[in-house]
Structure 1
Amino acid sequence: MSVFTGWRAALRIARRDAMRAKGRSALVVAMIALPVLGVTAADVTYRSATQTETEKLTAEMGAADALFKDPGSGPMEQSVNGDNYGSLSDTPPSEDAPALDLRTAFPQGARGISIQSVPASVTTGYGITDTDIFEFRVSDPLARGKIDLVDGTFPHGPGEIAATESFLKSSGLHVGSRTTLRGPEQKYTITGAVEQPDDLEVKALYAVPGAVIAPWKATAAHDKKVLPPNAGETTWLVKASGAQGVSWPEVMAANKKGALVVSRQVVLDPPPDSEVPLTRRLGSNTMSSGSTELSAALVTVVAMAVLEIVLLAGPAFAVGARRSRRQLGLVGTCGGDRRHVRAVVLSGGLVLGGVGAVVGVAAGLLLTVVFRPMIEDQAGQRFGSLSLHPKELLAVAAIGLVTGLLAAFAPAVVASRQSVLESLTGRRGVRRSSRVLPVVGSCALAVGVAVAVYGGVSGRSTLVAGGSVVAELGLLACIPVIVGLLGRLGRRLPLSPRMALRDAARNRGRTAPAVAAIMAAVAGSVAVATFMSSKMAESDYEYTPMLGEKSVVLYTTDEKSVERLPLARAAVEQNMAATGRPADVSRVWAGSDCNVYYEDEDSCGSMELVKPTGKGHTCPLNTKGAKELAARLTAEEHRSMMHSPACLDERYTMGTFGSGGSNIVVGDAALLKTYVKLDDPAAAAALAAGTPVLLNRAYAKDGEVTLKSVHRYSEKDKKNRARHPGPARRTTGRMKVYVADAKYAETPGIRMIMPERSAQRIGLHTALYGSVYSVSRPPTDAEEQRTSAAIEQAGGGVYVQAAAGSRDREDIMMLVLTLFAGVVTLGAAAITTGLAKADAEADLTTLSAVGAPLRVRRSLSGFQCLVVALTGVLLGTGAGLVPAVALRLIDLRNALREMRMSPMESAYTPIVVPWETIGLLAVVVPLLAGALAALLTRSRLTLARRAG
């Protein structure tokens, strides 16, 4: 018999055996198909979400050939893609020079549509909100791809407007609703819902040219309001007259007129560097982005997927081989040798692996298509197209096929070693567990952990990935011994749990791979969850708050608005979750109270707290020997020093209550209790006695602070200028203060609270700024809009600012990771339970024969599932912490290097274990798996005839 004839017979036997045992075959196909499905869906999603250059240009300029901008630099030279440019003139254009009419720079015969935007306040279904309004003819075909219609119609008249879906969702409006532009009080009807495909979360309104900006500017000029910078700047989408688009010579011609151009034709088919003047002058600045970490992550993911398939499908092949041992024995009686028996079992892996690979790829494509809108909403952008790469999909299918063969390899070797007599009689040979494998596994575990840690310390992500895989394989080799020890734990337990533990220990070949598969899935989820939790903690540390947590502040911009503060307070108390009474805050300043953004800074007064020098006052990280000091510090020591009062102001000084950099406010004991959360009778008594309370003790020396003020009055401040004629008056004096505990130095926006009579005593000016509330939770969009509407109805001029809320997206990602690991754990435990039932049917029949209650079948299945799930989760948690810690060591190494180059850079790199996620996986999921297994198991006895 030739080789091919033998394999044809083996494949035929394997196919018939698979059809005969449909349940077991479906189980194996599912185990191979599920990871293939996941990898296929991830590949298609990643390729589709990664925008090509053409898709990026479409998102930027729609269906136009080019985008024209005026950077205000006059004649220029630009790079090919427009991300860099340089002026050809040594003197920049005057601010009084008229703006460039970009239409004069268009190629001959081209047409274009303009885009202008302004920030504005509009009414909503809840109240009032601020948003951006674009004058952009979105109904024009040139806008397709940049703005797409989702519902309704595009706006065509001056009283019509379109809104993004995100704006409609947050505002409580819908297509057909009316909104009013505050200021001109002009009403618009929302005719359609649109979306910006590359950013689905943007909140904006779109109107036809001339419908919004002209009345908005007229109202601002009438009310003498200063327009924000760049308000009303114009960008043009241009369509060339020819089919070739805007060429590079036409781009350079537009540059000479002062226009910056992004041309689709030029970006997709760039000219040589010799034809780009800016490149010839400055050189090419192309930077290659390294993909080492991405490659290492992909290798790790693929390796874990293959390992999981082998671990889960392997026991199924082993059970199948045992249940077909009589058939395999007949192969031996007919003249077949060991290689033919191996071929039959391997052919089963080939058949089922091929079916699983095909089913997995097809299901992955189908699910990606079905859930595409949900994936796009989660990603925050639309796919340009569903991108399919046949070579990658074939590689994924090949991995499924190969892993099917690998899963059948060990059972094939075991089946081929059995004698014909054992196969025909159904007896199982007794084999002792290997004593070498656990030793090798322990060594591999230790080596893998060491390699991963070394990779983290040395900054090599490939070593982290490789060491993590080796450590997991080492732990895998130790699992049979761990499972064997489970049998000793059940000596004093009731019947069902005792039998479940002993069955798991006795059938290690079935239990250990399933435990390892759960371990692999949980390890990946725990690793990612730990890394993300640590990154979030690092981000929280580096975040600079503008306002204290769970605080809402009402603030005014002029003296007239102060009169409306009582009505504004009522609006906050009615619409937000305010707790207790508010605390009033007043501003304090010296000389003229000028806004240095619009006024001449030299004509305004100023004041500042002078920080003493010396230990405890000067930040060591901002001195001459800071680099040498940073080189000796650990990350924790650096973090502690950065949080010291002396260094806090080096990180940030401004906040909601900032006043010329001094961060001094006027307040009383209510401000201490409501905002600072300083419940200290001594501090309250000090304020009542006229003594300021200093929150940052680095500014105090011997219980006093030095306040330096310059009383300078501008020409506009005629009242105070007449009272204080002559040159600027400089004052430097010392004040006795009450010094708060060091932890209060981190209070956002406030450095010192001064009683009003103290400010007046030293010649400073004060004015009521607003009120501060403590809230039980951050306000919602609807609550903020209702509050703003009530304030505007009362006359306006008072604004509401709330502290930032929680990060919902990160919480969702953590939930998804937990659900993924939980589903895999439930699936692997269910598979193991099913295999145990199929493999131990004779034992269950014996139990019934000796009088065991029928419910024993249910309870035994439940405890078998619980044992496998709980063991896998606990081992997976330990295995998952290895790569997470190693990757954080890489981050720590990079942070320390940056800290030693720039001592004020943070080196804080925490490792935060997500105990909630681990708790769900270690407690809830195993209990749920056991309960489901018990409920879904039939307790009724099925009679079976005796074999032989």
Structure 2
Amino acid sequence: MSVFTGWRAALRIARRDAMRAKGRSALVVAMIALPVLGVTAADIAYRSVDSTEAEKLTARMGSADALFSDPGLGPLQQMPDGNMYDAAGKEAPDGEAPPVDMSTAFPEGARAISILSVPASVTTAYGLTDADITEVRTSDRMARGKIDLVEGAFPHGTDEMAATEPFLKSSGLHIGSRTTVNGAGRTYTITGVVEEPDDLKAKQLYADPGAVIAPWQAAADRDRKVLPPNTGSTEWLVEGSGTAGIGWGDVLAANKAGALVVSRQVVLDPPPDSEIPMARTITDYTPREPVEVSTAAVTVVAMTVLEIVLLAGPAFAVGARRSRRQLGLVGTCGGDRRHIRAVVLSGGLVLGGIGAVTGVAAGLLLTVAFRPLIEDWAGQRFGSLLLKPTELLVIAVLGLVTGLLAALAPAIVAARQSVLESLTGRRGVRRSSRVLPAIGSGALALGVAVAAYGGTTGNSTLVSGGSVVAELGLLACIPVIVGLLGRLGRRLPLSPRMALRDAARNRGRTAPAVAAVMAAVAGSVAIATYMSSSLAESDHDYTPMLSKGTMVLSAVDTEAAERLPLARAAVERNIAVTGGHADFSRLWAGSDCSVYYEDESRCGSLELVKPTGKGHTCPLNTKGAKELAARLSAEEHRAMMRSPACMDEYLSSGSFSSETNNIVVGDAALLHTYAKLDDPAAAAALKAGTPVLLNRAYAKNGEVTLKAVHTYNAKDTRNRKLHPGPARKTTDRLKVYVADAEYAATPGIRMIMPQRTAERLGLHTARSGTVYAVPGPPTDAGTQSVSAAIEQAGGGIWLQTENGPGDREDVILLILTLFAGVVTLGAAAITTGLAKADAEADLTTLSAVGAPPRVRRSLSGFQCVVVALTGVLLGTAAGLVPAVALRLVDQRKALQAMRIEPMESAFTPIVLPWATIGLLAVAVPLLAGVLAAVFTRSRLTLARRAG
């Protein structure tokens, strides 16, 4: 019999066996197809979101042939893609060149439409909000692909607008609603919903050219107001005459006229360097290097394959045992061990092929079905559903090979059995290998050491390699660990004792399932730990504008401050404020520089002088800072950065004063509401006229030095009358109440001064705003209502909130937890099902000797718990190895950056995701046990035991 004939027979036997055991076959197909499905969907989604150059051009310029703009340089030269450009002369012109007459820059016979954006305030269903309004003829065919209609109709005429969906959601408006542009005095009807395919989260309004800016300019000229500057220079979408498009010659001609051009034809088919003038003058231009496959990606793929093998392997092993009589008959008919191996491997080939094809097809269908959700999550539309046949074929082959690998170990075991054992059903007794655990222990220690060394030396490749070796070593130790479980049940009740002993006795079935859970949990814990640590680092590095849990109303000038009572009433009516409020005043010497900015040399100044010496001067901002940083550890550097002397170097000046001294006038309410300083002694000091210093680095012997220059602008007639004569300088030493070091981190305030102390020093004050304590950031509806009330009262007041360091990535952590939980439940369920099928005779015996019916349920539940809990605990330990090592890599890089720039933060914490670990270690095993107990039948129909 030839090799081909033998394999053909083996494939036929495997196909029939798969059809006969449909449940087990479906289980194996699902185990192989699910990861293939995920990889296929991820590949198609990634390729579709990662737009081609042509799709990027369409998103930027729609269906036009080119995008023209005026960078204000006069005649210029550029690279073909328009990303690099410069003035054509040897030196750039002084100041901005006069605007380009685009009629001279456009090719002859070309057609163009303009795009111009302006910032504005518009009315909403709740009040008033800021938005960018773009004037462009959205109905023109050249705008297709850049601005697409989703619902309704494009605007036509001077009284219509279109809006994006994010703007409508935040404003409470809809198609048919009317909105008024503040300042222009004109109301517009929203006629349609549009979107920018490359930015689905944009909050924009669109109108035809001349619909907004012209009446706005007319109203500004009538009221003698100055319009806000444009958000960007005007651009033009240009369509060439005929079908020729805009060529390189047209681009060079436009450059001479002063226009920058991004041409579709030129970008997709660039001219040779010899025809590009700028290419002869630049020396630092380097093309982008191709992206290489990262070590992390290879590691993920390898661990995914390993996980499938571990999950599907036990199913093949049980299948081989259930078919051992059939395999014995193959031996009696003249087949040798290689034929038996071929039969079992053919099962892997058949089921692997079905799983691979099913996974690729399902991945494609699911990507198509969930395309809108993927696009919303990515924030952009697919240019097209891009399929790479080669990549999909590789994914399918990977699934096929995975099926073969999963059947490899069971094939070897089945081939080693004698014909007599196969025909009689006896398994024989084999000792566990002592070599494999020894090798595994060595590999585990070696992998941890290599990963740790890679982390301390900053080598991420060593980290990845060491982590994989450590996990493989732990996998090799799992049979021994499972064997030890049997000894833990000596004093336990019947069901948990049987579950532990069954797991220990059938290590070939239990160990792969535990290993599969461990692999899934290890990856999830590693990523979750790294993300949690990175979030803690970003929280530390974040510079807040306001104190946490506060909101500030601030007036731009004295006239606007008179409207603060109306603004406060609007805030208290529309926004939840929980901890009261506190008024504050700004403080200055001489003329108010924030008002009389035309002649800054005639403005006064006020300075809080910082003493020199230890405890006052930041060592990281001195001459020997680099040498000092080279000697500091990350924790020492962090402690120094958070000291009062250094804290002031990077904290924001806040929203309390236009002065850089960060001194405000307030009372005890400001201490409680904003600084969160609940100290009766500090409140008493303010009441007695003693300033409270929040940053103790400015105090020496309980006193601060305040320098003031009383210089008055000619326009400041009020203060000049109060302080006639020449400019004068004063230096005052004030006794202060020094707060604890932690309050130096209060954003925007160094010192709070009582009103009467400011008056005694001859300083000027003016009510500037109000601080509120709030439970969280206000809603869009609340802020828009307050903005409308402020504008109606006369404007000039700003509402500012502290939103924190940005959106948290809790969604990703949740997805990782769910993924690991699903794999854990699946592996535990597979093992429990295989255990039931494998131990049917033992369960029959239990029923025969009078065991209660609930024993079957409780036994299944505890079998699930054993597999899930063991795998989760081992996976958590394995996942911490790469996470900690990668954080050590980050710490090394941060230390290197710190030694170059000593004020750079080197804080790289390692934070465990306790919520994720708790869910995996407690909730998931309990859920697995409960589900297994619920779905297991209590009673068993007795049958005569075979053998």
Flag whether TM exceeds 0.5 (same fold).
Answer: yes
Q: 1:716 to 1:97 in 2, by over 3 A?
A: farther
Letter in 2 for 1:60: R
Distance 1:603 1:275 in 2: 56
1:42-99 deviation digits (Å, cap 9, x = unpaired):
1111111112211221111111121111122222222222222222457766769753
User: Is contact 2:596-2:715 (8 Å) kept?
Assistant: no
Structure 1 residue 659 displacement after superposition = 2.8
1:104-130 deviation digits (Å, cap 9, x = unpaired):
311111111111111111121222211
The answer to which of 311-320 and 184-193 deviates more is: 184-193
Letter in 2 for 1:521: A
Task: Please give the secondary structure, in 1, of the residue aligned with 2:455.
Answer: helix
Distance 1:551 1:653 in 2: 15
- Structure 1 equivalent of residue 163 of structure 2: 163
User: Is contact 1:588-1:659 (8 Å) kept?
Assistant: no
User: Is contact 1:213-1:232 (8 Å) kept?
Assistant: no
Letter in 1 for 2:637: H
Letter in 2 for 1:644: S
Distance 1:463 1:658 in 2: 51
Distance 1:461 1:359 in 2: 36
User: Is contact 2:486-2:501 (8 Å) kept?
Assistant: yes
- Structure 2 equivalent of residue 638 of structure 1: 637
Q: Does 1:423 align with 2:442?
A: no
1:770-805 deviation digits (Å, cap 9, x = unpaired):
100001222122222222233334443332111115
The answer to which of 558-567 and 590-599 deviates more is: 590-599
- Structure 1 equivalent of residue 25 of structure 2: 25
- Structure 1 equivalent of residue 275 of structure 2: 275
Q: Does 1:54 align with 2:71?
A: no
User: Is contact 1:778-1:805 (8 Å) kept?
Assistant: no
User: Is contact 2:543-2:652 (8 Å) kept?
Assistant: no
Distance 1:806 1:933 in 2: 43
Q: Any residues of structure 2 matched to 1:744-783 within 5 Å, and which?
A: 744-783=743-782
Structure 1 residue 636 displacement after superposition = 1.1
Ranges in structure 1 where 5+ consecutive residues have no aligned partner? none
Distance 2:595 2:56 in 1: 40
Task: Please give the secondary structure, in 2, of the residue aligned with 1:350.
Answer: helix
Task: Please give the secondary structure, in 2, of the residue aligned with 1:584.
Answer: strand
Letter in 1 for 2:463: V
Letter in 1 for 2:667: D
- Structure 2 equivalent of residue 502 of structure 1: 501
Distance 2:941 2:377 in 1: 49
- Structure 2 equivalent of residue 611 of structure 1: 610
Letter in 1 for 2:468: V
Structure 1 residue 945 displacement after superposition = 4.8
Q: Percent identity?
A: 76
Letter in 2 for 1:745: A
Structure 1 residue 915 displacement after superposition = 0.5
Structure 1 residue 861 displacement after superposition = 1.2
Q: 1:152 to 1:227 in 2, by over 3 A?
A: same
Structure 1 residue 386 displacement after superposition = 1.2
Q: 1:730 to 1:69 in 2, by over 3 A?
A: farther
Letter in 2 for 1:85: Y
Q: Does 1:694 align with 2:693?
A: yes
Letter in 2 for 1:718: T
- Structure 2 equivalent of residue 555 of structure 1: 554
Letter in 2 for 1:344: V
Task: Please give the secondary structure, in 2, of the residue aligned with 1:705.
Answer: strand
Distance 1:259 1:715 in 2: 45
Task: Please give the secondary structure, in 2, of the residue aligned with 1:241.
Answer: coil
User: Is contact 1:658-1:750 (8 Å) kept?
Assistant: no
1:847-895 deviation digits (Å, cap 9, x = unpaired):
1111112222222111111111111111111111111111111111111
1:661-681 deviation digits (Å, cap 9, x = unpaired):
111111111000000001111
- Structure 1 equivalent of residue 197 of structure 2: 197
Letter in 2 for 1:485: L
Q: 1:916 to 1:711 in 2, by over 3 A?
A: same
1:550-594 deviation digits (Å, cap 9, x = unpaired):
101111123232232222222222222211321001111122223
Distance 1:335 1:97 in 2: 93
TM-score, normalising length: structure 1: 0.97
Distance 2:432 2:268 in 1: 64
Q: Any residues of structure 2 matched to 1:340-739 within 5 Å, and which?
A: 340-595=339-594, 599-721=598-720, 724=723, 728-739=727-738
Q: Does 1:878 align with 2:847?
A: no
Q: 1:496 to 1:365 in 2, by over 3 A?
A: same
- Structure 1 equivalent of residue 219 of structure 2: 219
Task: Please give the secondary structure, in 2, of the residue aligned with 1:129.
Answer: strand
The answer to which of 889-898 and 69-78 deviates more is: 69-78
Q: 1:742 to 1:551 in 2, by over 3 A?
A: same
Letter in 2 for 1:907: A
Q: What is the aligned-residue RMSD (CA, Å)? A: 1.9
Structure 1 residue 723 displacement after superposition = 5.0
- Structure 2 equivalent of residue 829 of structure 1: 828
- Structure 2 equivalent of residue 41 of structure 1: 41
Distance 1:522 1:232 in 2: 49
Distance 1:442 1:144 in 2: 63
Distance 2:722 2:387 in 1: 78
Q: 1:61 to 1:716 in 2, by over 3 A?
A: farther
1:915-946 deviation digits (Å, cap 9, x = unpaired):
11111111111111111111122223234454
Distance 1:255 1:37 in 2: 50
Q: 1:346 to 1:534 in 2, by over 3 A?
A: same
Distance 2:290 2:876 in 1: 31
Structure 1 residue 320 displacement after superposition = 0.3
Task: Please give the secondary structure, in 1, of the residue aligned with 2:906.
Answer: coil
Letter in 2 for 1:606: S
Letter in 2 for 1:321: A
Distance 1:637 1:103 in 2: 63
Structure 1 residue 709 displacement after superposition = 2.3
Q: 1:945 to 1:365 in 2, by over 3 A?
A: farther
Q: Does 1:140 align with 2:140?
A: yes
User: Is contact 2:690-2:736 (8 Å) kept?
Assistant: yes
Distance 1:599 1:904 in 2: 35
The answer to which of 320-329 and 280-289 deviates more is: 280-289
Q: 1:304 to 1:225 in 2, by over 3 A?
A: farther
Letter in 2 for 1:35: P
- Structure 1 equivalent of residue 264 of structure 2: 264
The answer to which of 475-484 and 458-467 deviates more is: 458-467
Distance 1:247 1:424 in 2: 80
Structure 1 residue 639 displacement after superposition = 1.1
Letter in 1 for 2:474: L
User: Is contact 2:127-2:785 (8 Å) kept?
Assistant: yes
Q: 1:499 to 1:223 in 2, by over 3 A?
A: farther
Distance 1:617 1:809 in 2: 36
1:20-49 deviation digits (Å, cap 9, x = unpaired):
100001111111111111111111111111
Distance 2:835 2:40 in 1: 31
1:128-179 deviation digits (Å, cap 9, x = unpaired):
2111111111111111111111111111121111111111111122222221
User: Is contact 2:544-2:651 (8 Å) kept?
Assistant: no
- Structure 1 equivalent of residue 66 of structure 2: 66
Distance 1:623 1:258 in 2: 47
- Structure 2 equivalent of residue 174 of structure 1: 174
Distance 2:748 2:879 in 1: 41
User: Is contact 1:244-1:265 (8 Å) kept?
Assistant: no
- Structure 1 equivalent of residue 286 of structure 2: 286
Task: Please give the secondary structure, in 1, of the residue aligned with 2:25.
Answer: helix
Q: 1:266 to 1:581 in 2, by over 3 A?
A: same
Distance 1:861 1:638 in 2: 54
Structure 1 residue 300 displacement after superposition = 0.8
Q: 1:289 to 1:731 in 2, by over 3 A?
A: farther
Q: 1:290 to 1:616 in 2, by over 3 A?
A: farther
User: Is contact 2:74-2:98 (8 Å) kept?
Assistant: no
Distance 1:915 1:675 in 2: 31
Distance 1:781 1:883 in 2: 42
Task: Please give the secondary structure, in 2, of the residue aligned with 1:759.
Answer: helix
Distance 1:827 1:598 in 2: 70
Q: 1:113 to 1:754 in 2, by over 3 A?
A: same
Q: 4+ residue runs of structure 1 moved beyond 6 angstroms?
A: 94-97
Task: Please give the secondary structure, in 1, of the residue aligned with 2:593.
Answer: coil
- Structure 1 equivalent of residue 905 of structure 2: 906
Letter in 1 for 2:111: R
